[in-house]
Amino acid sequence: MKKWIITGLLVLLMLSVQVGPVFANTDEQEAAAAGFEVLVPQKDRVTSREVVMLSFSAPQGSTVTVEVFHNTSLTDEDNFAALYEPMIFEIGALERGWVELQLKKGMNRIFLTTYLNGLPETPVGALESEADEDRLVIERRITVKDLEEVREELTRNVRETTATDLIRRLTNTTEIPQPTE
């Protein structure tokens, strides 16, 4: 009897893990299929460091543009302004690119855009009908906070995590919404 119960539970567990929904960014999947990906940071993050190393890979001969924006609003509104002029990298034989960025405290958005066949001939701001086919964009959001703010947020998240959420993270079956306040 015990063997049947254990076997039944294992079968249910295996089915729930295999059939669980998968959440992924289709733009990043498409970019990865073309050989364009951000190596560091691999996902959005919160950090206390203002200097961030950005590493990416792209096919040889392609062009990667890095644009960095900072939220200048003191409220929760999105009011992003450019921190730097767009940085343009031509990818060589190593198929890698690196850049060190000095970010500001608060929300920072980094857009990496690649044109697989080099930069388009259309001027900036013009309609890019042909260039859009070769253009791939990856976005990273990096929030820079004081060390105390990061510690406080981590302890709050640990206290608010339930056993069910922990099991979902371990089995990786569904995306867990982050608590908001």
What's the pLDDT tens digit per position in 99-117?
999 999 989 999 999 887 7
Residue 95 backbone zone (phi > 0: left; psi -120 to 50: alpha; other: beta)? left
**At residue 52, what are phi and psi to the nearest 5 degrees?**
-125, 135
In which band, very low, low, confident or very high, does the pLDDT at 19 lie, cut at 50, 70 and 90?
very low
Query: How many H-runs (helices) and E-runs (strands) does the chain carry?
Result: 5, 9
Residue 13 pLDDT? 63
Residues in a beta bridge with 67: 111
Rounded Cα–Cα distance for residues 140 and 42 (Å): 8
Residues 6 or more apart whose Cβ sits within 8 Å of residue 65: 86, 87, 88, 89, 111, 112, 113, 114, 115
Structure confidence by residue, pLDDT tens digits, 107-165: 999 999 988 776 666 544 434 444 466 788 999 999 999 888 878 877 887 777 777 77
Domain boundaries, given as residue ranges, for the chain = 25-145
Mean pLDDT calculated for residue range 36-48: 90
Q: E strands of the chain, at which residues?
A: 37-40, 45-47, 51-57, 63-71, 80-82, 87-90, 96-102, 106-115, 135-144
| Six-digit token string for 179 | 């608590």
Q: Which CATH architecture has domain 25-145?
A: Sandwich (2.60)
CB burial of 108-142 (b: ≥16 within 10 Å; e: otherwise) equals bbbebbbbbeeebeeeeeeebeebeebebebbbeb
Residue 121 pLDDT? 60
**pTM assigned to the model:** 0.66
Mean pLDDT calculated for residue range 19-33: 63
Q: Which helix (H) or strand (E) holds 5?
A: helix 2-19
Indicate if the pLDDT at residue 175 is higher than 80: no
Rounded Cα–Cα distance for residues 153 and 75 (Å): 19
| Six-digit token string for 120 | 């388009």
